[in-house]
Amino acid sequence: MSENAITRRSFLAGSAGVAAAAAVGFTSFGAWQQAHADEEAGEGRTEAVHTLCNACSSKCGYTAYVVDGKLTKLIGDPQNPNASGHLCARGYGYSQIAYSKDRLTDPLKKNAQGVFEAISWDQAYAEIAEKVRAIIEEDGPDALALVQDPRPSGSYYAKRFMTALGSPNSYTHGAACNLSKVSGITQAIGAGDWVSDVENSKMTMFIGRSYCDGIRPSQVAALERGFENGAYTVMVDPRCNNSTVFASEWVPITPGTDLALVLAMSNVLIKNNLYDADFVAANGVGFDEWAAAIAECTPAWAEEITGIPANTIERLAAQFAEAAPAASIEPSWRGAYGCAYANSGETARAVALFNTLLGCWNQPGGALLTSSAAAGKLDDPRFAAPPKPEGTLLGTKEYPLAAASMGSAVFAGEMAKAGVLKGMFFYNSNMAAGYSNPAYLADALSQLELMVVCDVQMSETALLADYVLPETSYLERAELPEFGGGKVPYVAMRSQVLDVIHPNTKSCDQIFTELAQACGVGEYFDFTQEELANAQLKTVGLDVDSLRLVGTVQFPEKAFVYGTAPKWNTPTKKVQFTSEACAKAGLSACPVWVAPQTVPEDGAFRLVGGKEAIMTHTQTANIPELMNIAEQYGLDRPWISAADAKALGIEDNDECVVENEQHSGTSKVRVTERISPGVVYIPSHFGCTVPEQHTAYGFGLRIMDYVPFHIEPAYGSAMTQEATVKIKKVGA
């Protein structure tokens, strides 16, 4: 339990103190700490603990208030750059995971009948270690792999465990999230992301990215401020998403064709000499080749492909030129080109090049290449990295453009099916329900000789495992500090809010340390989580106790400065209009039109997915408080356009069959003007098939059931929207 206990009186003072500390940076919190050292402990104590949300990868910082050991209130921390003083509904709802009646409480082993039985930790460790040793002896450490969702402690401990065993095969969920985006952008500019300065921009275009659905509170606030400041904000989306409340214009587009829009807008800028020629000449390589390659990509050509009128494309390009350099295309995350189509990586590349034409890099209102804070070098030999594995990450050869920090987890799935991978560990990952076709993945992962899943509740992936290891919920554990980036780099930390609720659950640092010991590589884990956290924080002049007091510390001295000349971390040290690596990987050296590979046959609709503001992936649907909202508003319903519905004799809320070669299911549908004809949208959080999740089980359709198993050439993503469906009224 936290020692950061404060009285009700000091809580009020403390909130102001936290805001003040944030405003002037971390140099001030010594004084804040001193003020609180004087507070006497008394009765009626409210404990206030700074921690990080775990309901999505934004990990917003908040203050948890605990009365008599019970969580009573959450308030977003103003000094945390992702929260900026607010949490989203998921942050509140997901805090109830600690008290979920469906929590895993003991280590489980699947017996010969395929039924899970509770076993001791010692037995679990011993048996897993024996199987790990047998796999390494027989096939080498390269036959082992890990899939994890990057979380502060999990990504450190789980990956270190894999490395210590000698395996290079650590994957993230990227193949079903933003692998193509990050990898494509990297080919162009040598960094995987940027921050669009929406609030100061004259114009920002969002391509399949919705701040008000795929929420991060600080981004919602920035969009609102930008819109109120008069920024021209454009939402390119086959769906009129909820960010459209802060949009100047909704531009509906045929799914999978964003590349054609970006190439045509680029073509307009180049042809009419509306681009920043000086910037391009000074920073770019291969521009003439790209200009020639897209010479035929006119607005009229793109109209045919995208369904966007040529004069709209022409106008948007001219508006961009007018607004530049206070303008950019937002980098996006997942929706349109994170992992969706055969052309996702190439779309990402083209978007980065378009921003280069605007000359908007690091300009006020433009696209900012911000940096991240990081821990410095740790001197203590106990923290030295295990020897680098001899092998290379599986998939590097097949998908050479996939960012090595993520890898292609779906290819790992294919390799499990092929018998190349023999043992897999999953941490905070529900791959079997969310990374590609679940039926394919269930079959593939069932081939493994050893499958170990660490989770807080039974998941589709855990159901397939040989061993399931129960973790404490995020509120019952402390984690390593998280170093983050943005306009002002920061470090934040998850502290333990609640006492451990189920005595036989453990935190991931303990689980992987003990697993490593059992597997004979314990020497790489000869430290406590707090010792490591302190060592990391010492390199930036902090320690665990002081960071705990404020939760997040910003580094204003490292803040982004407008006008800084960008450094292009590409092989040529330039913005690459042409990329040798892309050519080598079998793509065009410069991004040209690549069609999505799925063409709807007669009567079929393109399938798109997306986030509902109150749910995260597959992990929140079992929270009753959130599911109640979904049920009340019918948020699980697929969307179909009013025109298509009319043609099919479907009315709002009619029960319909949604089917394709992979799957068939029934659901009520939402008939709306807010989606383009020819497109069906399925919200991505539903259709849970785990009976042990008593709230989520059986509710709604699961979008991945309709997605065939296939992988984007060169980039390695799951092509999660290369799919079509047919829809008809039940009984029709």
Ligand X SMILES: Nc1nc2c(c(=O)[nH]1)N[C@H]1C(S)=C(S)[C@@H](COP(=O)(O)OP(=O)(O)OC[C@H]3O[C@@H](n4cnc5c(=O)[nH]c(N)nc54)[C@H](O)[C@@H]3O)O[C@H]1N2
Residue 483 lies near ligand X (rule: CB under 6 A): no
Q: Which long-range contacts (CB under 8 A, 24 or more apart) does 270-279 make?
A: 270/294, 270/357, 272/318, 272/321, 274/317, 274/318, 274/321, 275/321, 275/357, 275/358, 275/359, 276/324, 276/325, 276/357, 276/358, 276/359, 278/359, 279/356, 279/359, 279/361
Residue 60 lies near ligand SF4 (rule: CB under 6 A): yes
The DSSP bridge partners found for residue 62 are 51, 76
Partner touching 13 among ligand SF4, Mo ion, ligand X, none, CB below 5 to 8 Å by kind: none
Q: Using the rule CB under 6 A, give the single segment among 9-17, 123-131, 173-181, 542-550 that binds ligand X.
A: 173-181
DSSP string, 530-564: HHHHHHHHHTTT--HHHHHHHSEEE-GGG---TTP
Helix (H) or strand (E) holding 722: none
Here's the x/- map for ligand SF4, 191-210, by CB under 6 A: it reads as --------------------
Our CA angle for 60, 63, 66, nearest 5°, is 135
Q: Of 494, 546, 500, 542, give the one whose Cα is nearest residue 62.
A: 494
Q: Supply the minimum distance, in Å, between the C-beta of residue 317 and ligand X.
A: 17
Residue 46 CB neighbours (<10 A) = 17
Q: Please report, as ranges, the residues that interact with Mo ion according to CB under 5 A.
A: 177, 334
Residue 205: left if φ>0, alpha if ψ -120 to 50, beta else—which one?
beta
- Nearer to ligand X by C-beta: 10 or 720? 720
Rounded distance between C-alpha atoms, residue 360 and residue 113, angstroms: 62
Q: Which residues contact 372 (CB under 8 A, 6 or more apart)?
A: 483, 484, 485, 486, 489
Partner touching 87 among ligand X, Mo ion, ligand SF4, none, CB below 5 to 8 Å by kind: ligand SF4
Residue 177 lies near ligand X (rule: CB under 6 A): yes
Residue 258 lies near ligand X (rule: CB under 6 A): yes
Could you say which residues in the range 599-618 bind ligand SF4, by CB under 6 A? Answer: 616
- Nearer to ligand SF4 by C-beta: 52 or 146? 52
Residue 91 lies near ligand SF4 (rule: CB under 6 A): yes
Rounded distance between C-alpha atoms, residue 213 and residue 653, angstroms: 22
What percent of the residues of the chain are helix, what percent strand, and what percent coil, each to the nearest 5? 35, 15, 45
Partner touching 213 among ligand SF4, ligand X, Mo ion, none, CB below 5 to 8 Å by kind: ligand X
Selected from 22, 84, 90, 498, the binder of ligand SF4 by CB under 6 A is 90
- Nearer to ligand SF4 by C-beta: 215 or 269? 215
Selected from 14, 21, 48, 59, the binder of ligand SF4 by CB under 6 A is 59
Could you say which residues in the range 366-425 bind ligand X, by CB under 6 A? Answer: none
Residue 402 lies near ligand SF4 (rule: CB under 6 A): no
Here's the x/- map for ligand X, 34-73, by CB under 6 A: it reads as --------------------x-xx----------------
- Nearer to ligand SF4 by C-beta: 82 or 459? 82
Q: Are 379 and 144 in contact (CB under 8 A)?
A: no
Residue 494 lies near ligand SF4 (rule: CB under 6 A): no
Residue 687 lies near ligand SF4 (rule: CB under 6 A): no
Selected from 103, 109, 160, 216, the binder of ligand SF4 by CB under 6 A is 216
Residue 611 lies near ligand X (rule: CB under 6 A): yes
Q: Supply the minimum distance, in Å, between the C-beta of residue 339 and Mo ion.
A: 9
DSSP letter assigned to residue 641:
E
Burial class (CB in 10 A: 0-12, 13-18, 19+), 665: middle
Rounded distance between C-alpha atoms, residue 397 and residue 712, angstroms: 14
Helix (H) or strand (E) holding 618: none
Residue 98 lies near ligand SF4 (rule: CB under 6 A): no
DSSP string, 8-24: HHHHHHHHHHHHHHHHH
Peptide bond into 481 cis (omega under 30): no
Judged by DSSP in three states, 368 sits in strand
- Nearer to Mo ion by C-beta: 63 or 148? 148
Rounded distance between C-alpha atoms, residue 198 and residue 226, angstroms: 5
Residue 476 lies near ligand X (rule: CB under 6 A): no
Partner touching 255 among ligand SF4, ligand X, Mo ion, none, CB below 5 to 8 Å by kind: ligand X
Q: Using the rule CB under 6 A, give the single segment among 219-227, 392-400, 650-658, 696-704 that binds ligand X.
A: 696-704
Q: Supply the minimum distance, in Å, between the C-beta of residue 71 and ligand SF4.
A: 15
Output the CA torsion sign for 218, 219, 220, 223: positive
Q: Supply the minimum distance, in Å, between the C-beta of residue 620 and ligand SF4.
A: 8
Rounded distance between C-alpha atoms, residue 171 and residue 326, angstroms: 37
Our CA angle for 76, 77, 81, nearest 5°, is 105
Residue 149 lies near ligand X (rule: CB under 6 A): yes
Judged by DSSP in three states, 420 sits in coil
- Nearer to ligand SF4 by C-beta: 53 or 441? 53
Partner touching 524 among Mo ion, ligand SF4, ligand X, none, CB below 5 to 8 Å by kind: none
Residue 88 lies near ligand SF4 (rule: CB under 6 A): yes
How far from chain centre, in Å, is Cα 118? 33
Q: Supply the minimum distance, in Å, between the C-beta of residue 590 and Mo ion.
A: 28
Q: Are 213 and 610 in contact (CB under 8 A)?
A: yes
Q: Are 333 and 295 in contact (CB under 8 A)?
A: no
Helix (H) or strand (E) holding 650: none
Residue 95 lies near ligand X (rule: CB under 6 A): no
The Cα-based distances of 271 to 351, 353, 464, 540 in angstroms read 18, 15, 56, 49
Partner touching 428 among ligand SF4, Mo ion, ligand X, none, CB below 5 to 8 Å by kind: ligand X
Partner touching 637 among Mo ion, ligand SF4, ligand X, none, CB below 5 to 8 Å by kind: none
Partner touching 510 among ligand X, Mo ion, ligand SF4, none, CB below 5 to 8 Å by kind: none
Q: Supply the minimum distance, in Å, between the C-beta of residue 90 and ligand X.
A: 6
Residue 121 lies near ligand X (rule: CB under 6 A): no
Residue 215 lies near ligand SF4 (rule: CB under 6 A): yes
Q: Of 602, 423, 470, 610, give the one whose Cα is nearest residue 120.
A: 470
Residue 87 lies near ligand SF4 (rule: CB under 6 A): yes
- Nearer to ligand X by C-beta: 544 or 608? 608
DSSP string, 583-606: HHTTS-SS------S----TT-EE
Nearest residue to ligand SF4 on Cβ basis: 91
Selected from 78, 93, 192, 256, the binder of ligand X by CB under 6 A is 256
Here's the x/- map for ligand SF4, 563-602, by CB under 6 A: it reads as ----------------------------------------
Q: Are 496 and 4 in contact (CB under 8 A)?
A: no
- Nearer to ligand X by C-beta: 326 or 680? 680
Q: Supply the minimum distance, in Å, between the C-beta of residue 427 and Mo ion.
A: 16
Selected from 194, 427, 512, 605, the binder of ligand X by CB under 6 A is 427
- Nearer to ligand X by C-beta: 252 or 366? 252
Q: Supply the minimum distance, in Å, between the C-beta of residue 177 and Mo ion.
A: 3
- Nearer to ligand SF4 by C-beta: 217 or 299? 217
Judged by DSSP in three states, 192 sits in coil
**Interface ranges with ligand X (CB under 6 A):** 54, 56-57, 149, 173, 176-178, 207-210, 213-215, 236-239, 241, 253, 255-256, 258, 333-336, 340, 427-430, 433-435, 454-457, 459, 471, 473-474, 608, 610-611, 613, 615-619, 681, 684-685, 702-704, 721
**Interface ranges with ligand SF4 (CB under 6 A):** 53, 55-56, 58-60, 82, 87-88, 90-91, 215-217, 616
